[in-house]
């Protein structure tokens, strides 16, 4: 007898969450190739790999990425991390209850639950298992107060039942509010980017005491709740690197030397990305660079003030976003992609004309160093970053075949960031490559993808007969040890059938092993594309395949 059909809910088909996707073979071979190339190229530039966790304190990202940015404001996956499952469900039970003033049992059990919550909550606070924040302390006080008042008010109907109900409702909403603000654990977020984590790790592990600069790279998933489209996902992958260098107390003594040194670091970092793209044969790579000066009155701050006053004059002609940015962050207006704003933006003052002498010198040095390294670039004065600690060099790289989401890499210098996160004065420059887009672009250019996703030779062993089977197992072991991909069918097949299956799987060769071959000690290798056959002894066969 068959079992009853499962209920509808049980038959629910699960799908990957919107904005996330499965990376599957054969595509994953290309992903692996990209990542192996990153390991190889970055190692030649003296970078070491760092693997930070994928979640961190929300506060870390708020400070590093900026509380006002879309990333932090709207796009982070944030959750509270605590060990108080029961307390948390008690809080929601209390929140959803509506005690009935005319039913004394209903009121008293409500108050009992609040007391139960208070008991466990105060204990958690006392043991420092629940964070002792001002909000938490205040909520605790308020809850205690409501728990005392509710039974008194519930029994006091002097102004009439309706009046008593209203007073009780006020207390209940007070309870809900207190429970809403209570934080039982740390507020964490899935990382939307990794620079903040790398800086946190630099500080946490006192890396300023290691040889400077520290050159670190990472590869891994990032999470942003963006509107998904081609080249934009909610879980996406970045390949990035950071160079962090402790600022020595005497660094200002030879300012000119420091500027050149930083310019060389910037150029090396850019050269490294370009070498990586070159190795991958990424099509249509274009590098744009800019200098955004530094946060000083005689440099970017002065320029932004001027920009703001110029923007005020054309405010009416700008869209709502740009109008808002005139107040919040005029620099970011330059980012606008709105068609009708382009001619207006083109007439705005350019930062290159307002850089201080040091920033000018440094920018010229970066360009000189790039030229020395044979790295082609174009200048784009509209390449900006919205946060104060970003300074001087910024760059962006675009590639072919990506439509509107054509940026594959963004980078820049951020000398103030480590200090902002509580570390010592530290210089920093880094970049992040969007790996999903990099792969898309390689796949669009089929030749590049083919070259990049090059696979080892693939041999299907067509065996027949008990003696041949033992030889086949042995051959599979040897061939695999030599790096050859081998498919060893678990059942005996007729040769015709075996060859058919070999082609279906995409094998290039079939190794034919019958009892005759085993007795002779010579094996037949058939090239599936043209049907050509060659006879080999085993060592010769290995040599032949290794050479491919």
- Binding footprint of ligand AMP on the chain (CB under 6 A): 193, 224, 226, 231-233, 236, 238, 407-410, 432, 434, 436-437
Find the shortest distance in angstroms from Cβ 30 to ligand AMP: 16
Structure tokens at 355: 């850089």
Distance of closest approach, residue 383 Cβ to ligand AMP, in angstroms: 11
The pair of three-digit structure tokens given for residue 202, joined into one six-digit string? 């630099």
Whether the ω angle into residue 303 lies within 30 degrees of 0, i.e. cis, is: no
Min dist. Cβ of residue 237 to ligand AMP (A): 8
Q: What is the largest CA-CA distance in the chain?
A: 110
Closest to ligand AMP by CB, 408 vs 541, is: 408
Beta strands in 175-304 (DSSP E): 186-190, 214-223, 235-246, 286-291
Nearest residue to ligand AMP, using CB? 434
CB contact set of 68 (below 8 Å; sequence gap of 6+): 328, 329
Instruction: Please write down the HEC assignment for all residues of 80-104.
Output: EECCCHHHHHHHHHHHHCCCCCCCH
- At its nearest, how many Å lie between ligand AMP and the CB of residue 195? 8
Q: Which backbone phi and psi does 541 adopt, to 5 degrees?
A: -65, -45
Both tokens of 231, joined, read: 């080249």
Nearer to ligand AMP, 175 or 190 (CB): 190
Closest distance to ligand AMP from the beta carbon of 354 (Å): 25
CA 418 – CA 213 distance, rounded (Å): 13
- Residue the block writes with tokens 């390689």: 442
Nearer to ligand AMP, 236 or 276 (CB): 236
Least distance in Å: CB of 102 to ligand AMP?
55
CB of 407 to ligand AMP, least distance (A): 4
Nearest residue (CB) to ligand AMP, 433 versus 510: 433
In the complex with ligand AMP, the residue whose CB is nearer, 208 or 238, is 238
Q: Please, is 161 exposed, middle or buried when counting C-beta atoms within 10 Å of its C-beta (0-12, 13-18, 19+)?
A: exposed
| Separation CA 428–CA 299 (nearest Å) | 20
Cα–Cα distance for residue pair 499/455, rounded to 1 Å: 20
Instruction: Give the C-alpha separation, 453 to 402, whole Å.
Output: 19
Nearer residue to ligand AMP within complex by CB, 221 or 302: 221
Beta-carbon contacts of residue 185 (< 8 Å; ≥ 6 apart)? 80, 81, 82, 83, 84, 130, 131
Of the two residues 205 and 230, which places its CB atom closer to ligand AMP in the complex? 230
Q: How far apart are CB 49 and ligand AMP at their closest, in Å?
A: 19
Q: Which is nearer to ligand AMP, 64 or 114 (CB)?
A: 64
Instruction: Please tell me the total number of residues recorded for the chain in this structure.
Output: 548
């Amino acid at each position: 007898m068959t079992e009853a059909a499962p209920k509808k809910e049980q038959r629910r088909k699960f799908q990957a969450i919107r904005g996330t996707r499965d990376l599957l073979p054969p595509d994953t071979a290309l992903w692996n190739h990209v990542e192996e190339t990153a390991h190889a190229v970055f190692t030649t530039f003296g970078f070491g790999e760092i693997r930070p966790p994928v979640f961190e304190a929300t506060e870390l990202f708020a400070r590093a990425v900026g509380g006002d940015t879309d990333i932090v404001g709207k796009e982070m996956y944030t959750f509270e991390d605590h060990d108080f499952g029961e307390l948390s469900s008690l809080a929601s039970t209390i929140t959803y209850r509506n005690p009935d003033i005319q039913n004394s049992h209903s009121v008293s059990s409500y108050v009992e639950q609040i007391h139960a919550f208070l008991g466990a909550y105060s204990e958690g606070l006392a043991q420092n298992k629940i964070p002792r924040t001002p909000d938490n302390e205040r909520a605790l006080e308020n809850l205690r107060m409501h728990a005392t008042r509710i039974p008194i008010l519930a029994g006091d109907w002097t102004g009439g039942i309706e009046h008593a109900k209203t007073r009780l409702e006020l207390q209940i909403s007070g309870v809900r509010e207190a429970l809403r603000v209570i934080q039982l654990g740390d507020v964490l977020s899935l990382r939307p980017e990794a620079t903040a984590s790398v800086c946190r790790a630099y500080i946490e592990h006192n890396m300023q005491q290691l040889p400077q600069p520290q050159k670190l790279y990472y590869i891994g998933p990032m999470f942003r709740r963006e509107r998904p489209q081609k080249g934009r996902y909610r879980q996406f992958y970045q390949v990035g690197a950071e160079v962090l260098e402790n600022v020595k107390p005497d660094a200002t003594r030879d300012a000119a030397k420091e500027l050149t040194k930083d310019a060389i670091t910037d150029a090396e970092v850019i050269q490294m990305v370009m070498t990586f793209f070159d190795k991958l044969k990424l099509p249509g790579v274009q590098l744009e660079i800019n200098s955004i000066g530094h946060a000083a009155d005689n440099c970017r701050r002065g320029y932004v003030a001027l920009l703001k006053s110029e923007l005020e004059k054309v405010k009416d002609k700008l869209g709502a976003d740009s109008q808002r940015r005139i107040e919040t962050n005029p620099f970011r207006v330059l980012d606008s992609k709105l068609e009708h704003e382009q001619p207006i933006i083109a007439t705005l003052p350019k930062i290159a004309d307002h850089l201080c002498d040091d920033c000018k010198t440094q920018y010229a040095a970066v360009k000189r160093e790039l030229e020395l390294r044979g790295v082609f670039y174009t200048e784009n004065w509209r390449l900006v970053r919205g946060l104060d600690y970003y300074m001087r060099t910024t760059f962006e790289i675009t590639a072919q075949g990506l439509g509107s989401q054509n940026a594959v890499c963004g980078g820049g210098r951020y000398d103030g960031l480590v200090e902002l996160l509580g570390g010592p004065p530290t210089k920093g420059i880094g970049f992040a490559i969007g790996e999903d887009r990099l792969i898309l672009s390689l796949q669009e250019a089929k030749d590049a993808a083919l070259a990049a996703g090059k696979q080892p030779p693939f041999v299907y062993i067509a065996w027949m007969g008990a003696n041949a089977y033992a030889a086949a197992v042995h051959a599979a072991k040897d061939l695999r040890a030599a790096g050859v991909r081998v498919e060893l069918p678990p059942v005996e097949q007729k040769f015709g059938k075996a060859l058919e299956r070999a082609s279906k799987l995409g094998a290039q060769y079939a190794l034919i092993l019958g009892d005759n071959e085993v007795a002779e000690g010579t094996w037949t290798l058939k090239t599936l594309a043209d049907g050509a056959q060659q006879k080999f002894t085993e060592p010769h066969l290995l040599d032949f395949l290794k050479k491919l």
